[in-house]
């Protein structure tokens, strides 16, 4: 930037000033801004990021978003800083019609660029892989035979207090969800109750078109395809309610295909599940349901004519859901 010195007129007025160390200046300003932005993100934004911390998968997703923001902020700050610095410091002064000095290459800048971008890409690759394997698929649908498993004991009957894995089959149909608990005699309910601190395996499937099971606060999302067993894992860490939505446009009442699930204590869950099981045993519904199956025939159920509800009031759906007319509350 010694253009002024090369012009005879300007050179006559004042001696050429030495160029300031632009690189170090930029680096110092960038370091301060990037550090400030990353600290703000970590301490103020991170705790409020979706989807919250209700389950292991939700926690991991929140952490992932925070780490990606922390990785991205220094990059965008570098771009904006260079942009602003160039406009302020390197703009042409009034009356200056000279060209800048020709540039033929700069090993330092080129090496920094290649090393910097390679490091960023490799970091994202390693971080993403670790965060996918660590929480056993991060709450997403892993297909019928996942390559990882959550730690937990496989049992035929679920009991509180141990580390039993809870199996829940999630069945989508136009336009409602039902949930089957194979470890409780295969009882089914339109209410999704889960015990806290329990590894859960969801088996997501559909009776008709493609739906998508999205338990927002649990950080679980898995496609529901007919005749496909799509497995997703999570462990709820906090009690409370969460939203279940269909996340795949599945027909005219897709928007109404949601309800609320509950994470309750292990003993409350066991009491609720046994209660529903007993009720369905008594009214004969349970006997018609196989213990565990990937395929369902919803038309069989209404023929029983017992304790079944035709959902017309909300969805207008011609279908039926399984489960008791008066669900047992925990």
**Minimum Å distance from CB 248 to Cu ion?**
6
**Minimum Å distance from CB 250 to Cu ion?**
3
195 DSSP β-pair partners: 264
Token representation of residue 185: 């005699």
How many angstroms separate the CA atoms of 155 and 202, rounded?
Answer: 15
204 is a contact residue toward Cu ion (CB under 5 A)? no
**Minimum Å distance from CB 141 to Cu ion?**
14
Task: Count CB-CB contacts under 10 A for residue 81.
Answer: 17
* 211/221 with CB nearer Cu ion: 211
Helix (H) or strand (E) holding 177: strand 176-181
Task: Count CB-CB contacts under 10 A for residue 44.
Answer: 9
**Minimum Å distance from CB 295 to Cu ion?**
18
* 232/276 with CB nearer Cu ion: 232
* 137/319 with CB nearer Cu ion: 319
* 197/229 with CB nearer Cu ion: 229
Binding residues among 241-300 for Cu ion as defined by CB under 5 A: 246, 250, 257
* 54/170 with CB nearer Cu ion: 170
**Minimum Å distance from CB 140 to Cu ion?**
17
207 is a contact residue toward Cu ion (CB under 5 A)? no
b/e code 290-329 from CB counts within 10 Å (16+ = b):
eeeeeebeeeebeeeeeebeebeeebebebbbbbbeeebe
How many angstroms separate the CA atoms of 327 and 309, rounded?
Answer: 11
Binding piece for Cu ion, criterion CB under 5 A, among 53-61, 157-165, 180-188, 239-247: 239-247
- C-beta of residue 190 within 8 angstroms of C-beta of residue 280: no
Size of the site for Cu ion (CB under 5 A): 4
How many angstroms separate the CA atoms of 184 and 273, rounded?
Answer: 7
**Minimum Å distance from CB 205 to Cu ion?**
12
**Minimum Å distance from CB 258 to Cu ion?**
9
Helix (H) or strand (E) holding 4: helix 3-6
Of 211, 216, 217, 244, the one binding Cu ion by CB under 5 A: 211
Residue whose pair of structure tokens reads 């220094």 in the numeric block: 74
**Which spans of this chain sit near Cu ion (rule: CB under 5 A)?**
211, 246, 250, 257
């Amino acid at each position: 930037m010694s253009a002024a010195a090369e012009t005879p007129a300007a050179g006559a007025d004042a001696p050429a000033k030495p160029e300031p160390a632009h690189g170090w200046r930029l680096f110092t300003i960038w370091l301060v801004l990037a550090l400030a932005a990353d600290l703000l993100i970590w301490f103020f934004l991170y705790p409020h990021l979706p989807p919250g911390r209700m389950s292991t998968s939700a926690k991991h997703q929140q952490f992932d978003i925070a780490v990606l923001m922390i990785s991205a902020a220094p990059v965008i700050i570098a771009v904006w800083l260079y942009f602003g610095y160039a406009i302020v410091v390197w703009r042409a002064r009034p009356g200056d019609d000279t060209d800048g000095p020709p540039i033929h290459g700069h090993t330092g800048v080129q090496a920094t660029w290649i090393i910097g971008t390679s490091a960023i890409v490799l970091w994202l690759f390693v971080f993403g892989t670790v965060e996918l394997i660590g929480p056993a698929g991060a709450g997403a649908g892993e297909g019928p035979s996942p390559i990882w498993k959550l730690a937990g004991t496989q049992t035929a009957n679920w009991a509180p207090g141990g580390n039993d894995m809870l199996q829940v089959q999630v069945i989508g149909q136009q336009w409602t969800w039902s949930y089957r608990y194979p470890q409780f005699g295969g009882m089914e309910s339109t209410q999704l109750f889960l015990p806290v601190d329990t590894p859960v395996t969801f088996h997501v499937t559909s009776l008709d078109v493609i739906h998508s099971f999205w338990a927002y606060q649990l950080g679980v999302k898995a496609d529901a395809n007919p005749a496909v067993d799509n497995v997703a894992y999570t462990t709820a860490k906090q009690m409370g309610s969460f939203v279940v939505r269909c996340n795949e446009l599945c027909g005219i009442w897709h928007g109404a295909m949601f309800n609320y699930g509950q994470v309750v204590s292990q003993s409350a869950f066991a009491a609720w599940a046994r209660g529903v099981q007993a009720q369905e045993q008594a009214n004969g519904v349970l006997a018609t349901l196989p213990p565990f199956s990937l395929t369902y025939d919803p038309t069989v159920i209404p023929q029983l004519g017992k304790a079944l509800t035709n959902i017309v009031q909300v969805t207008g759906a011609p279908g039926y859901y399984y489960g008791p007319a008066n669900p047992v509350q925990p």
